Structure 1
Amino acid sequence: MFKKPSRLLAALALGTAMLLGNAPTSAQCGYFVGDGCPGTNYANYGVASSGAATLEYDNQVSTFHATVTREYTGVFKIWGEGTAADGVANLLSPTEINAINFPGLTGRVLKAAVGGNTTPGQTVVLTTDGLFIWGNVGSVVNAAIAPGTAVQDITVDGNSTGLPAGVAPTQVKMMYVGPQMIAITTCDGNAYVLNNNATPNLRGDGGTGNTTWAHVQESTAGNPFLTGVVAMRGSLGRLMALKSDNTVWTWGTSVYPGGGGAGVQATRAVQMVLPAGEAGNPIKMIGANVASHYVLYENGHLYALGFNNLRQLGDWGNTTTARLNWVQPRYTSAAGPVMNDILWISPNEHIGNNAAINVINSAYQVYSWGSNSGLMIGRPVDGTSYDPGIPAGISPTVFSVETGGHTSMLSKACSQNFGYVGHRIFGSMGNGEGSDINEASYTFTTADVQICGATTVPQMFTGGSGTTGALGQYCNGSSLTLSGLPTGGTWAVVSGAATITGNRLTFTGAGAGAVTISYTATTTECGSSVATETFQVGDCKMNSVSGTIWNDANGNANLDGAEAGIDNGLWVNLVAPDRTVAGSAKIANDGTYTIAILQENTVAGNYSIIITNGQKPLGTTLASADAPNADYGYTGTSLGGVPNTGNRTGIIVVGDMTSGGVTAADFGISNDPAVLPVKFGFVAAELFNNQLLVKWNTTSELNNSHFEIEASVGGTNFISIGKVDSKATNGSSAEAIEYEFTKDTSAGVVAAGIALLAAGAGLFKARRVRYAMVTITLGLMVFAAGCNKNRRDVLPEGKLYVRVAQVDKDGTKSYSKVVTVVKR
């Protein structure tokens, strides 16, 4: 019987969301609001995943001897053959993909993959600036697009992002990289292919050429664009697409449409005939494997179709005859039980040969079949093709599996390192050495790699980017805030010059060296488990700001001995004079923080500390603070011991930092109505028939003058759009009072002002200026479009934000939480 994932998986595989749950702007695995499609959930991966619309296929991607992984912190790491920045050297250990390790890379990494039809392959990385490629020329994209092996950004069709015209990096939902192709699915459900195969069929638009993006079309009358796509997968010369209406389409060379049809050459997408008896059942995953197709349903039923020369269909039948109708893989024999309890599939999809597949069933056990070239699926004899069976050296509980060109990798409960079987060479095991050996059974003498959505043991998270020198090391004297998963464990310095006080790690040495720390936690399933992390540390000059967030019981903005620090889930952000984030760090458990910037990176002008409820990406424009969690409000600030009850903005201007640092930049917060000017209750905003309606209430007011309603596109920079006077007698009340505000949005004036504010806040600093222009233009049109529309199409979902500013009689302001405008 098919079983859903257990509580063990909920605790471990989905632990990332719990760990970062107090940081809504970074949600899970490094996701920042605005960096992807609405509903993006990077942790929806592995055996605990569900729902085709948000499922992540590529948190780990392997090709012949190279692998890239999105870790639970959101960092991408890569290792193996030809993966170094020059595209030739081998990385023997997992290495973070960033601008320091990969010179020439710019922007924040959104997606990363490896692929190709040869060894080595090519690495493809999508950042907020566009596409970057390095590695074996021609393995994925045409040499005319990426002529060198080293890290390079690409231009396609004159578009400097390398993406199809009109598609911004943050609009890419899925980036599948395979042999001689990149296929992207956009947030709005369109499919595009950049094909380097000699055949034109893979383009999917009926055309020819291998240096331009093709917008995939249907083979139906009139050849409309293929829309509503939620996933695209493939193999050499062929692709499959799953649409939101639960239909599956395919195109390319030797594709099998099902329903008894033989293999065809399809220059445009052909709708597949799906397995009989599954009508109405939602599909979870699709996959391809040379000229074979796979469909996995949410009910656990797995089907295969097409070429079967290496037993890759798993039905224990004739190994040379293609299956023209869907068959089900079976566990033990041609008459044995069918696979109706599968949670995850991983066909060998990123190269063009060695057809093989690994799956995980409801017992969290791996089964593999197909090609065993290089012992890649952990079966006994090299080069032999196998029917389904359990690979050597592995037992439950397995959370994820990835099939590569000559390898298979998995994550297993209670194991800090990943499991590896198959051909080991050029550092493909990530354990620091590059010997050439075939691993006959799964080994865990690898590296500690914790995949987003498939974390396996207690883990640690460093709250903030830290302070790093030119070579990426942390600076002696700098500090990091630590968080552990699950909570309640213990920290220790294993080696190196450092101290840990509470959950604050401080590097205390001089000169270059390494610091290793550990986090030990006990779980019912795994017992006592230890996670370790090593930091490279060196001397570098830095200027820092430190302070405390404290519970200001009397509301006088004076931090006295009777009042204690509080973290309240808050983060501090060091904001440069140009209003961009120069550093972001989580408040320690005792309410203290230290945040620093390299002295050589400081610029003249006023720096600020701004409080938010989650991490802010470096370089992000930030002009306003968040309202603190749990009904807390700001009571004032204290800079250098001087209290200021008039500053309740969550911002302290600390001044010029080119000549040194700042100490005692403190923020008072409280949830006591007796010391807060206004205690907000609910805040809500909606748009209906061109009317913006904002409702809120206060549970208490003290010396309140009025409220100002502020709006923002993007939730960062706000402008005032209206005013409502206090209803409290003389501005004070101990009773709940309800308010509302309406604004006619049809004229477009409000949106124009908001969009212009966003433009002035630094949209033009990105490499891709033309997309900033498009963003501003769309922003100006947001409300204006309402003139011709009555209900749901006035605003893109989640693009407009509102907050309420409370203004004291003396002009001092406090803020409500920020809410998203809901359309109805």
Structure 2
Amino acid sequence: MALGNNGYLYYLIEVPDNGGLFSISSIEAYETPASGPTPPTTTNAVITNADINGTNNDNVFFRRMAAAPDGYIYLAATEETTGIVYLGRFLPGPNGGITGAFQSLGTVTLNGVSTLGNFNNGDIAFDGEGNLYALVNQDQVNGQAVICYAAAASISTTETGNTEMDEVFSVVNEVGDPFTGLVVGFSMASNGNFYIAVQGADGGVYLTHRDGANAIITELISNTDAANIADLATSYFPLQTVLPVTYGDIKAKIQGGSLVINWSTLTETNNTAFDIEASVNGKDFVKIGTVDTKASNGNSDKPLYYSFTKSVDSKMAIMGISILSLAFVLLLTRKNSSLLSFMLVIGLGVTAASCSKNDNQVDVGGEGKIFVRIVQIDKDGERSTSEVITAYKAD
């Protein structure tokens, strides 16, 4: 499924023994109003038929469509017996039709992805510069999910061409472990991060953020009817080269009984605030404060400087952070709701007790250090995270 720039959803339904042949249908996209008449029923007529693997008669899996910012809708498919990935596109036209004919664009090579048939699960998406991203499993069931990339200029435009895609991100969960769920949907968020749809035990729609070589699953958006999720489509085409915030130096220390964090931003786009998060192990983080942006209307093209200070305690507060972190992990896994409720109550109670001496206090633990990170929040509620900084106890 893909959302065309003409207000129509384009989709195809896979059929067995297709020999590479397929049909694309469209239906007008609309939102049902809160009150007033229901929009008229629209038809889902077939608007084009084509063959994506040419003279080959092998069956293919059709599961990936994505709109590009130039208006084209791209389709990727995997050949059943060979694992060869094919790419094609068409241009939406008036009244849900297409302009011109379907164009075969040759094959796709997924560099760094080791096994054939790995694109049976996954999806494709484009950013605002027309660069192509592909979410794939390393195998069909339990392999590491990765994200591959091809620059717009390198995408094949001929039937005999080939598009080289390089692995750029490994998909990991919040604690940094490889994500091996059944990924079936992929689209861009407004700030250049990714939405990922997952079936099975970890089913749901997740938001990720980019951190170095990883795309970290950080937020469960919805797990409604997760077992039947199959695809995602949005009209976002963010510029991947323009991040919401470009950080300068980030420094943290524990001095004079306080945790002190200083950071700068070189540029900010549509920014609203920064959440400050702390952890005792560098993996499980909890929020300890918020700092509003200094950028005028959330935008700045010159350096801005920020600081955050919080009192530290020797024992109690870090226990609260630890318990809340464990509760957060339980929340993500949806396991044992009674234990989750108990841990939340205890964690909040311990943290509140530790704050009674001096407003809000954070303990640095026996090793004299605490891990901190800055979470930027934009005007759409999207979040991106800085690198993790270690604050050491100096006194």
The two structures share one fold, judged by TM-score above 0.5: no
Larger Cα-atom Rg: 1
TM-score normalised by the chain length of structure 1: 0.23
TM-score normalised by the chain length of structure 2: 0.43
Looking at secondary structure, tell me which structure has more strand per residue. 2
Q: Which has the higher contact order (CA 8 A, sep 6+)?
A: 2
Looking at secondary structure, tell me which structure has more helix per residue. 2
